[in-house]
Amino acid sequence: MALAFCGDEGNSTAYNVDHGVLNNGCFVDALNVVPHVFLLFITFPILFIGWGSQSSKVHIHHSTWLHFPGHNLRWILTFILLFVLVCEIAEGIVSDGKATLVLYIRVAFFLNDYLINITIVYFCNSLLFYWTLAFITKTIKFVKFCDNGVGFSQLRFCLTGLLVVLYGMLLAVEINVIRVRRYVFFKSPKEVKPPEDLQDLGVRFLQPFVNLLSKGTYWWMNTFIKTAHKKPIDLKTIGKLPIAMRALTNYVRLNEAFEAQKVCKAWNYIRSRSIWRALCCAFGRPLLLSSTFRILADLLGFAGPLCISGIVHNVGKGNNTIRPQGSSDTLQNFLSNAYVLAVLLFFALLLQRTFLQASYYVAIETGINLRGAIQTKIYNKIMQLSTSNMSMGEMTAGQICNLVAIDTNQLMWFFFLCPNLWAMPVQIIVGVLLLYYLLGISALIGAAVIIVLAPVQYFVATKLSQAQRSTLEYSNERLKKTNEMLRGIKLLKLYAWEHIFHSSVEETRQKEMTSLKSFALYTSISIFMNAAIPIAAVLITFVVHAHLTRKADFSPSVAFASISLFHILVSPLFLLSSVVRSTVKALGTLLVLPPLTVYFCLSDFSQPLKVVNRKRPAREDWNNYSSHMRRPINITEADDFCVKITNGFFTWTPEGPPALSNIDIRIPQGQLTMIVGQVGCGKSSLLLAILGEMQKISGNIFWTGNSWFVCFSRKRGSVAYASQKPWLLNATVEENITFESSFNKQRYKAVIDACSLQPDIDILPHGDQTQIGERGINLSGGQRQRISVARALYQQTNVVFLDDPFSALDIHLSDHLMQEGILKMLREDKRTVVLVTHKLQYLPHADWIIAMKDGNIQREGTLKDIQKSETELFEHWKTLMNRQDQELEKTIIETKTVLERTNLRRTMYSREALLKDDEEDEEEVTESDDEDNLSSVLHQRAKMPWRACGKYLSAAGILLLPLLVLSQLLKHTVMVAIDYCLAQWTSEIFDHSPYSKFFSILSCLGIVLCLVTSIAVEWTGLKVTKKLHSSLLNKIILAPMRFFETTPLGSILNRFSADCNTIDQHIPATLECLSRSTLLCVSALAVISYVTPMFLIALVPLAIMCYFIQKYFRVASRDLQQLDDSTQLPLLSHFSETVEGLTTIRAFRYEAKFRQKLLEYTDSNNIASLFLTAANRWLEVRMEYIGACVVLIAAVTSITSCLYRKLSSGLVGLGLTYALMVSNYLNWMVRNLADMEIQLGAVKRIHGLLKTEAENYEGLLSSSQIPQNWPDRGEIQIQNLSVRYDSNLKPVLKHVNAHISPGQKIGICGRTGSGKSSFSLAFFRMVDTFEGRIIIDGIDIAKLPLQTLRSRLSIILQDPILFSGTIRFNLDPEKKCTDSMLWEALEIAQLKHVVKALPGGLDAIVTEGGENFSQGQRQLFCLARAFVRKTSIFIMDEATASIDMATENILQKVVMTAFADRTVVTIAHRVHTILNADLVIVMKRGVILEYDKPEVLLEREDSVFASFVQADK
């Protein structure tokens, strides 16, 4: 083969210059090479210097900084230039023939390709000369073409003209750069600093700043993905958001749009429409860009079917493909070349996938920005909510959390799906037109099948949504019952009621399963229709086309192009239902749901605080108007008093009566003021009125130094406020106390000591750095109260408001707090303290007293003033003070405080044990040295949880699993057979009948198998979820009590809620998608390899690339998904805690600080979401590019095989159609693999709980060996008993011996931790008895079945537990008693009159936890419950702790008389209650210290019991 620069060396005309040099084509072509050679030599040194000096650049993201204006335009022009150059070289190869390789085209192309790729990244001054020379030389060539009569009919002329235009535009861009940046001809270039974001190394999300190529391919993510494979991703790794994407920036943009809409007159009339206009104004531009990208992508998607049609048509005609020809080619001839079409298809796929992913990214980014802006706007409105809005229930914490978690996400997803609304109709219309072009009238029949079934798909989607809602309702009911069961598990085990509540949960689960079956049915129908509709449409279309239009073209090119078009057409119709439902939800968020509209219509936070009432506008009376005009009243005592209220009337609601009336008070500056009064007299309301939380009807409030009205409360300074209901942040103990103030170690320690918090902090695993609140440890009420008071003490404010801080504290803590905290730390510092309290014994410490009654001020002044002027009131106070039995309170509440710390210690042990178990169960990693351990962990992170997958599938059973696998394999085999049959059918031009019958049979079989596989997957999911939940419930309810003490309740509930939901609804769908996409890819690659075995050579490197891409992606995707979820929790928690602590936040004047925290939480969640989106796009771009490579290689190898092996055109069409499928499903396979990996974590966690060992419910004695009425006498023998809570813990009872005769009344006392409660639990075998035994009525309880033992004894626990349902159910869930027996028990428990007064009597409703009854009433119901059982042994474990003394005395007498013939064991907290017992047991550290009759023990001088009685007097 000859090689020459301008053609064949024998062709002398190529070098003839007789008519002038410029008229010689060879010279002109050589001239076009000059600019490229020139730039090559000029730029080499510059490029090397640039690369070598990169390390010395300033610390910015250098590689992402686009230094010069017009950079994106240069990239776009360059891509077009490259495409035109490819077309030029292709045209040269095709038109110049194979005989001679013309070098000038190749040299120009390769030099041009190399140089323009380099120069778009690195700018140098020589570019101006390069583009100038290139423009001039190409223009000369174009002019010579015109002179020689070459016109638009010739492709080479068109390409040359395009190159002239492109070079000219690139030259214009370069001139503009020089003009703006003042380069080359200017002495002082303009210095440009990089953007602020790029100077901040904390900003790692670089998508807005990178060049066009990196934006389109997410190349900048490579480093991030590789880093994720080396170490887990956390918030520090992903860094900060760019400024333009931060919530504050987007909030400002949204707020400006709202303000612009508010100017419109129509705002008050059509608010929702105006809101939509504001949203579109703020975020509509990127949405328009996303829609443009989407439409372009959809239009480019039709290049696939068209190119397949052209390739198959051309190879079917027997074209030699490369025709030796010396003249330039026309466009029609150029596009008739199969190889050219293959390359065009490749470029079209690359461009289509790039546009599609760009559309997805822009839409999701816009939605995330919108979500952040709306969440910020909602939060600002929360800060403006009046307390009355919350107290009236007009805007609850739950509604606000729904706004944030659900409504804002619905708007975000609407913006994501919005481009589909106008892109899908375009796609459907173009698809139908192309089908009509290919198949004629028969195409409309096939399209009609798809369009007619679209409403059916919408109907199925609607039913699916309804089934999901129904499932959610039953799921919530089941979780409520499960939560109650777990919270009351101790009572259930002691009463042997596990089976009752197990049955109740199972009953609700059955309802949920019925709903899940509907959900599974509609899901399987949806999956079936999505798979079967294309088959049915193709079948009907092709049969009609072949038999009714016999003269029509039914070649492979038509058939396989039509199949591809049908696949394209089905997708938008299938998604249309989801898009429409999402749109309806988003419209409902603003048009139907009022809360969001109300929020948006509230006044801006800079406006005065006013009550907002959605039902009617706030009333404006003359007082409100005139108050703005009144001048402040001069107060001569301004320096003496901190706060003064004159003639104050305050209300909670605009329509309601005043809650506070005739308020005229003065609070002295720098002194201690106490506010006292009966419960409900308005003490707390007075504090809130002073803070501006109530609506003022009339009157004024004055502070020292300035006067202000309640509605302008923002002029007030900061007030340290401790509310009556303690409010804590989800933060550490230290952060809760310091509360955004600077840390002062000395003051912090003093506050800790004053609030007696050190013993509690010592128990916590991380001391004061332990997380508390919703996300951390659940503290008791007293502990929460002390931390709340400590926060107020720590602050350096001049004013401190304490609302009943002693309510949850014992007498010692109260005294210590009063002396060390309030008197020493606050009053001595001359700070103004306002203390609301019921502890009248502290009144002598008050400098000023305000007495309240029924919302009015009864009296104010000093104690001496009140003693003189209000003698009767003073005597009443004195009587109440004397009544407060401090010694009794000491005994009662000292036990309470120590018990709080004991419970906290147990909680700590539980959490540490759980963490230890999680660490052991997380990954089975050998603990060698650190490096080996790290490498093992990284290896485990990259490894798929195949074991969990195996456990999931094995739970399906031995019959269903083979059906699932075989149906999937058979389905895809039949699908391949259908397409292979079509290839053979279309290659046969004579007789359609045999092939059409066979094709019809296979298609019908394929449709049936689609139904079978969809049902098999959902059936498998149903069976697995039913089995796993049933096993989990059985295992948990039979677990020993120690399991519940060492495992947080939330952890167990998560298994029943989030993990069960994942297994119920998500894993089956993901499994179906994964199996379908995987088998489609495998079958496609198999078909291509069968058609062209040469493809296997190229498959190996592509497969290796896919493997590493998915390996790196899965790790990063899992981490980012978890980070996205974990950053959403603090955000929602911040909203809920702000609503709960709104009064405290506003009192401290910390609105700005909490807004800043909100912005941080929102940005953290948004950056995680954006990185997750970018990671998904990173994967999909690469997988789809690999898919495009598969299509190119398949096309080239098929065309070559067709030329040299006479491959049928039908098989070529088959191979290319399947190659397009690979391109579509490859990324779905990896995405579903990553999703499945995350979801299988739920299976893994549930199987971890299934390993829990159950209690041994079986006994050595059978039911026939146990007397029916055992125990009938109530004799108890305890012999050398030693028990412990766990085998690795110390004994809590040591060698205890005792004998209790039938009918005796035994009292057990001792200090906290002495083993009293463990003693009672030993009777029920709730603790581990490792030595000794207990014999009841002659039977060793260790030999009895647990169910029998626990059902024959009765116990009343200290903590009252009631379940939701009826009073009858709470007293007798086994339904064994008559109404008379229940009324008798209620009468004994002093509750008969209470229950009779309720609607329904015994069938009256009890809310969850018995919240509609007081604590004392709940305890009495528990007593009645125990009386109902009427067992011969009755145990009371500090059962009257929540009952007043009078009621307790009555109950003690009733117990002694009603249970005269029963054995009663009383564990006492008030020693006087067991003075009438037959025997008293005094315990200390697990051993019996004293054991005798109470009168005998009282006579002994050294008796511990006697000392207890003496202290109780």
Q: Name the band, by pLDDT with cuts 50, 70 and 90, for residue 44.
A: low
Residue 481 has pLDDT above 70, yes or no: yes
Residue 936 pLDDT > 60, yes or no?
no
H-run or E-run covering 450: helix 441-487
Higher pLDDT, 610 or 1396: 1396
1174 token code pair: 């970018």
Would strands 848-853 and 695-703 be described as parallel, antiparallel, or unpaired? unpaired
Reported as a pLDDT band with limits 50, 70 and 90, residue 350 is: very high
pLDDT interval class at 359 (50, 70, 90): very high
Note whether 408 and 590 are within 8 A (CB): no
381 Cβ contact list (under 8 Å, min separation 6) = 599, 602, 605
pLDDT, tens digit (0-9, with 9 covering 90-100), for 1367-1382 = 888 888 888 888 888 8
Instruction: Measure the CA–CA gap between 718 and 632, rounded to whole angstroms.
Output: 21
| Bridge pairing between strands 1328-1336 and 1339-1340 | antiparallel
Which tokens is 327 given? Answer: 């003249």
Between CA 853 and CA 836 the distance in angstroms is 13
Residue 148's SS3 state is: coil
Q: What is the pLDDT of residue 717?
A: 78
Please write the tens of the pLDDT for every residue from 379-430.
Answer: 888 887 776 655 544 556 666 766 777 777 777 877 888 888 888 888 888 8
The pLDDT, as a whole number, for residue 1173 is: 92
Cα→Cα distances 1366→424, 474, 496, 956, Å? 55, 20, 20, 39
User: What is the SS3 assignment for 757?
Assistant: coil
pLDDT for res 550: 60
Residue position matching structure tokens 């309301």 = 685
Q: Are 1309 and 1480 a contacting pair, CB within 8 Å?
A: yes
Tens of pLDDT, residue by residue over 1203-1221, are 777 778 888 888 888 888 8
Which among 237, 1342, 747 is positioned nearest to 739, based on CA atoms?
747
Q: Which two tokens stand for residue 994?
A: 């045999």
Q: Determine the pLDDT at residue 22.
A: 66
How do residues 1076-1132 score in pLDDT, each as one tens digit?
A: 888 988 998 899 988 888 888 888 899 899 889 988 888 888 889 888 888 888 888
Could you say which DSSP state residue 841 is in? G
Mean per-residue pLDDT of the chain: 77
Q: Which of 857, 802, 836 is nearest to 644 (CA)?
A: 857
For 174-213, what is each residue's pLDDT tens digit? 888 777 776 666 667 667 677 777 777 788 888 888 888 8
Residues 649-662 have a mean pLDDT of 80
Lowest mean pLDDT among 720-729, 752-761, 892-901: 892-901
Among 122-126, 226-230, 786-790, whose mean pLDDT is lowest? Answer: 122-126
pLDDT of 1513 strictly over 70: no
Phi, psi for residue 1336 in degrees, rounded to 5 = -115, 120
**pLDDT band for position 1444 (cuts 50, 70, 90):** low
> Span 1020-1035, mean pLDDT?
90
Average pLDDT over residues 625-634: 32
Task: Give the pLDDT band (50/70/90) at residue 1164.
Answer: very high
Could you give the angle at the alpha carbon of 193 between the alpha carbons of 191 and 196, nearest 5°? 165
Cβ atoms within 10 Å of 186's Cβ, excluding its own: 11
> Using one digit for the tens of pLDDT, what is the confidence trace for 790-817?
998 888 888 889 888 887 676 667 788 8
Dist CA 597 CA 272 (whole Å): 7
Look at residue 846 in the predicted model and tell me its pLDDT: 87
Strand-strand pairing, 672-677 and 660-668: unpaired
Of the candidates 590, 855, 517, the residue with the CA atom closest to the CA atom of residue 697: 855
Q: Is the pTM of this model over 0.85?
A: no
Highest-confidence segment of 70-79, 709-718, 975-984: 975-984
User: How many residues appear in the chain?
Assistant: 1513
Q: What pLDDT does residue 397 have?
A: 61
The contacts of residue 608 (CB under 8 Å, 6+ apart) are 711, 712, 714
* Rounded distance between C-alpha atoms, residue 527 and residue 1201, angstroms: 37
Confidence band for 924, pLDDT divided at 50, 70 and 90 = very low
Q: Does pLDDT of 7 surpass 70?
A: no
Average pLDDT rounded to a whole number, residues 679-706: 78
Q: Coil, strand, or helix at residue 16?
A: coil
What is the per-residue pLDDT for 345? 92
Split at pLDDT 50, 70, 90, the class of 1008 is very high
Q: What percent of the chain has pLDDT over 90?
A: 7
pLDDT for the residue numbered 480? 85
Would the pLDDT of 1023 be above 60?
yes
Q: How many CB atoms lie within 10 A of CB 930?
A: 8
Residue 739's pLDDT is 87
Among 103-117, 547-561, 827-841, 989-1003, top mean pLDDT goes to 827-841
pLDDT at 348 over 90: yes
Of residues 1001 and 606, the one with the higher pLDDT is: 1001
**Residue among 1489, 1455, 1448, 1488 nearest 1471 (CA):** 1448
Mean pLDDT of 1010-1025: 89
Task: Measure the CA–CA gap between 135 and 876, rounded to whole angstroms.
Answer: 105
Q: Which residues are CB-neighbours of 788 under 8 A, at least 6 positions away? A: 722, 723, 726, 727, 728, 805
Confidence of residue 351 (pLDDT cuts 50, 70, 90): very high
Q: What is the DSSP letter of 990?
A: S
Q: What is the pLDDT of residue 47?
A: 52
pLDDT over 80 at 55, yes or no:
no
pLDDT digits (tens, 9 = 90+) for 522-575: 888 888 888 888 888 888 888 887 777 666 667 788 888 888 888 887 777 667
How does DSSP classify residue 772?
Answer: B
| Tokens coding 638 | 């301004």
pLDDT at 445: 85
The confidence score (pLDDT) of residue 158 equals 86
Confidence band, pLDDT 50/70/90 cuts, at residue 117:
low
Range with the largest mean pLDDT of 260-274, 431-445, 885-899, 1430-1444: 431-445
User: Given a cut of 50, is residue 1059 above it in pLDDT?
Assistant: yes
What pLDDT, on the 0 to 100 scale, is given for residue 1181?
92
Reference 690, options 520, 894, 832, 509; nearest CA is 832
Read off the pLDDT of each residue in 1316-1324 and give the average, rounded to a whole number: 84
What pLDDT score does 778 carry? 58
> For residue 427, which amino acid is it?
Q
- DSSP three-state, residue 1330: strand
Q: What is the pLDDT confidence band of residue 3, given thresholds at 50, 70 and 90? A: very low
Write down the residue that tokens 């990089």 correspond to. 194
- Structure-block tokens of residue 1363: 């379940």
Structure tokens at 520: 């599974």
Residue 540 burial (CB count, 10 A): 17
> What is the Cα–Cα distance from 995 to 599, expressed in whole angstroms?
66
Cα separation, 1483 vs 1319, in Å, equals: 10
